Structure 1
Amino acid sequence: MDIKQFSMLRLIGKGAYGQVFLAKKKDTNKVYAIKTLKKKEIDKKKQAQHVMMEKTILNQAKHQFIVSLSYTFQSDKHFYFVLEYCAGGDLFSLLRVKRRLKEEQIQFYAILIIHALQFLHTQKIIYRDLKPENVLIDEKGYIKLTDFGLSKILLQEKADSIVGTPEYLAPEILTQNGDGYDYKVDCWSLGCLLYEMIAECPPFISEQRDQLIKLIKTKQPEYNFPISNELKDLIVSLLQKDPKQRPSLMEVKSFAFFKNVEDWQSYLTYKVIPPFLPVIHGPEDVSNFDTEFTQQEQFGSPSDGSNSDNKFPGFSGNNSQQ
């Protein structure tokens, strides 16, 4: 397989090492999101291990609230992940429009994210990159987590590498005292995400990385905006600096913010009507994604060289049922 088997329709996202395109497979007319990563940048930053880990995790993590992988292949210059396309956009784009969400909507997304994180943790996977850009919204109004390039399969009790988006990093990731960290870092990131959905910004902000790290380690977030006691109590607990004081995902379910939730399992079968249903005009609609990307008429199509698998053997694969 190579990129020539797809028509590149529109740019829908950008990252540190590449881009994400809406694309159509020419022989089936099925649309996908294709994540492209530049090998030159991956080599320069020594990120090849993360690329292979992302493929491994996407192959392993089969769940309705996690984006599914159909194909992986590579050329001389790029890696390609062919993923399911979620036309509802992502939480980042939604927050750009809505600014802040109603608490019933925050509760709905929180439940779905907790389900997804719990599944990952049962698979011994730490997500490590929960943020609005990585929470996709499908046509049903439900979510799917994406981007597992920073995730890790925890083979021992704890991890110790410093990875993740700075605004969402737990204090124990930033503290190099040899103790390492575990799944509780995802609980911290959940707290940051809930805060951002109600406050319009992450709990800790600074343009200076050193100052941001200091804030995360030492300061408490401000709550100078409308928020219920129940949601505030949940966020305060998730943002405990000491991971031992932070609730587990199972414990989070018993918080008062979720007291009206009768059946957590019903969300897994899509029986709960979402508080927000995205407007989607056909399978190729990109209107729910950020116009910063989608309105670029001239975008760099990642068509290049051969699809040689020599440099990174084992990357290419086919998970498609078609």
Structure 2
Amino acid sequence: MEDGIGRLRLASEDLSTFLMIDEQFHTQDEEYFSTDHESTLTSPVHVIFQDHVVGSDKRMVQNDDTIELQLNNEDFVSQKHGKKVGREDFEIHKVIGKGAYGKVYLVRKISPPDAGTFYAMKVLKKASLVYKCKEQTQIEKNILVQLRHPYIVKLYYAFQTDSKVYLILDYVAGGELFTYLDNEKMLSEDIAAFFLAELALALDHLHSFGIIYRDLKPENIVLDRDGHVKLTDFGLSKVTIDGKSTTMCGTVEYMAPEIIKSLPYGPAVDWWSFGILAHDMILGATPFGSNNKKKTMDRICNERLKLPKFVSPDARDLLNKLLKKNPLERLGSLKLNDAKSGFASIKNHRFFRKIDWKKLENLQLTSPITPKIDSTNDTSCFNDAFTSLPPLESPPQGSPISESVDQLFAGFSYVNTSILDNK
């Protein structure tokens, strides 16, 4: 399914067989969490979301091992800066993605303080979300609110109308990594190492907040105008209580064995997907793909990784260690009392020996790929199938949702006050 800020996936149909919304697993989760299970993983922080705090800017308050994230109150922002932000503040220029539940547009802000700025506007229909993935949409918004990282797309506004919800995000004009992989077929190991290192920093940032991404793949990675990656689409991400989840979701070819087997899992599933992505970059294909999903899942769980002779010793070692079936043996897995495990084991691997991690984290390294972009509103890196569509928002269809259903979206609105304070 092609959609997104670079095909930013909007709960695409190809996941319908495998995506089971979290509510279906609450009983199973509670049963697991209520019993004593020994784990070699340290527990990440417990993230508590509050939809609004009257009279308070966004702030993070840390108490022991708990981080409490307090979101901007819409009324407070309006009181401080004069006006609530809504659909009328954005002018649509192009369609850049389309999915099962909505579209993504290139839009221009037409009101101050950031008038003239181009953003990506993700629009989702409430009526579809109520029965399909409303929880995922709230989770995506809440996750984007708390994240501040150079390799993760930033959320600027969130608001709603009677029939739709809107996320206003970075417009990342370089298009998706998938397009470059599709054109190049394979990347050199040095180029692959650069992009993988940027993505590893993004994943480590997510994991530090107790967030499991769960859907790493080329379609969810876009390049900015300087060729640096941005991780997008957090609709399938999971904020965990103690580092474990049981929900079966993700894209099949990138799905870890423990997810397929419905076992409790932690952040190590992202390092498996990272290994699949590394294989895709270096060899031009995923290692366990087949012509049907059932066979692919069987191969992921049971088939031994096979690599051609031309793969370098360092790349071979990286792939073999990332694609361990047992998550406790997987490179990147965090082990108690082992400072060399977790993200440190990724950074210190010889495959990344040429990477200056400090400079990379500070955006001080030059990307090996620079997209051809003429302007801030250039859409040439996106699929013509979308950009050729009329730049019009679809009108609401069917009967309006009830007041009780609309309450499910209470607290959705958000303004990134850095925009207001810095203008």
- Structure 2 length-normalised TM: 0.71
**Residue 233 of structure 1, CA deviation:** 1.6
Q: Which residue number corresponds to residue 181 of structure 1?
A: 265
**Residue 204 of structure 1, CA deviation:** 2.1
Contact 1:36-1:302 within 8 A present in 2 as well: no
Other structure's SS at 2:178 match: helix
How far apart, CA to CA, are the structure 2 residues paired with 1:292 and 1:225?
39
Q: Which residue number corresponds to residue 317 of structure 1?
A: 414
Q: Which residue number corresponds to residue 389 of structure 2?
A: 297
Which amino acid is 1:277 matched to? T
Q: Which residue number corresponds to residue 236 of structure 1?
A: 320
Provide Cα deviations, 1:254-298, integer angstroms capped at 9, x if missing partner.
Answer: 22211223x31111112111111111110111112233322x233
Pick one of 369, 377, 382 that aligns with 1:276.
Answer: 369
Distance 1:285 1:214, change over 3 A: same
Provide Cα deviations, 1:59-114, integer angstroms capped at 9, x if missing partner.
Answer: 11111111110111122332211001111111112212222212211111111111
Unaligned segments of structure 1, at least 5 residues: none
Is 1:134 the counterpart of 2:228 in the alignment?
no
Q: What is the aligned length?
A: 317
Contact 2:217-2:277 within 8 A present in 1 as well: yes
Contact 1:67-1:145 within 8 A present in 2 as well: yes
Provide Cα deviations, 1:133-180, integer angstroms capped at 9, x if missing partner.
Answer: 11111112111111111111111231111111111110001112xx40
Contact 2:96-2:104 within 8 A present in 1 as well: yes
Q: Which residue number corresponds to residue 39 of structure 1?
A: 126
Other structure's SS at 1:34 match: strand
Is 1:166 the counterpart of 2:259 in the alignment?
no
Question: Higher mean Cα deviation, 4-13 or 244-253?
Answer: 4-13
Contact 1:199-1:225 within 8 A present in 2 as well: no
Contact 2:173-2:379 within 8 A present in 1 as well: yes
Contact 1:77-1:304 within 8 A present in 2 as well: yes
Contact 2:223-2:230 within 8 A present in 1 as well: yes
Q: Which residue number corresponds to residue 344 of structure 2?
A: 250
How far apart, CA to CA, are the structure 2 residues paired with 1:290 and 1:231?
32
Structure having greater relative contact order (Cα 8 Å, sep ≥ 6) = 1
**Residue 128 of structure 1, CA deviation:** 0.7
**Residue 304 of structure 1, CA deviation:** 4.5
Which amino acid is 2:219 matched to? E
Pick one of 118, 128, 135 that aligns with 2:204.
Answer: 118
Other structure's SS at 2:105 match: strand
How far apart, CA to CA, are the structure 2 residues paired with 1:235 and 1:13?
32
How far apart, CA to CA, are the structure 1 residues paired with 2:277 and 2:264?
23
Which amino acid is 1:6 matched to? F
Provide Cα deviations, 1:168-206, integer angstroms capped at 9, x if missing partner.
Answer: 110001112xx4000100000100111111222222223
How far apart, CA to CA, are the structure 2 residues paired with 1:141 and 1:180?
36
Which amino acid is 2:412 matched to? F
Is 1:59 the counterpart of 2:150 in the alignment?
no
Distance 1:311 1:75, change over 3 A: farther
Distance 1:13 1:201, change over 3 A: farther
Q: Which residue number corresponds to residue 93 of structure 1?
A: 179
**Residue 222 of structure 1, CA deviation:** 3.9
How far apart, CA to CA, are the structure 2 residues paired with 1:123 and 1:277?
31
Distance 1:14 1:99, change over 3 A: farther
Identity %: 37
**Residue 232 of structure 1, CA deviation:** 2.1
Pick one of 169, 185, 201 that aligns with 1:83.
Answer: 169
How far apart, CA to CA, are the structure 2 residues paired with 1:75 and 1:220?
51
Contact 1:11-1:293 within 8 A present in 2 as well: yes
Other structure's SS at 1:35 match: strand
Please identify the structure whose Cα radius of gyration is greater: 2
Distance 1:131 1:84, change over 3 A: same
How far apart, CA to CA, are the structure 2 residues paired with 1:60 and 1:293?
30
Is 1:204 the counterpart of 2:301 in the alignment?
no
Which amino acid is 2:312 matched to? S
Q: Which residue number corresponds to residue 260 of structure 1?
A: 354
Other structure's SS at 2:103 match: strand
Question: Higher mean Cα deviation, 34-43 or 50-59?
Answer: 34-43
Unaligned segments of structure 2, at least 5 residues: 1-84, 333-342
- Structure 1 length-normalised TM: 0.92
**Residue 239 of structure 1, CA deviation:** 0.9
Other structure's SS at 2:122 match: strand
How far apart, CA to CA, are the structure 1 residues paired with 2:128 and 2:286?
28
**Residue 300 of structure 1, CA deviation:** 5.5
How far apart, CA to CA, are the structure 1 residues paired with 2:394 and 2:312?
47
Provide Cα deviations, 1:114-140, integer angstroms capped at 9, x if missing partner.
Answer: 111111111111111111111111112
- Equivalent residues in 2 for 1:3-18, closer than 5 Å: 3-18=87-102
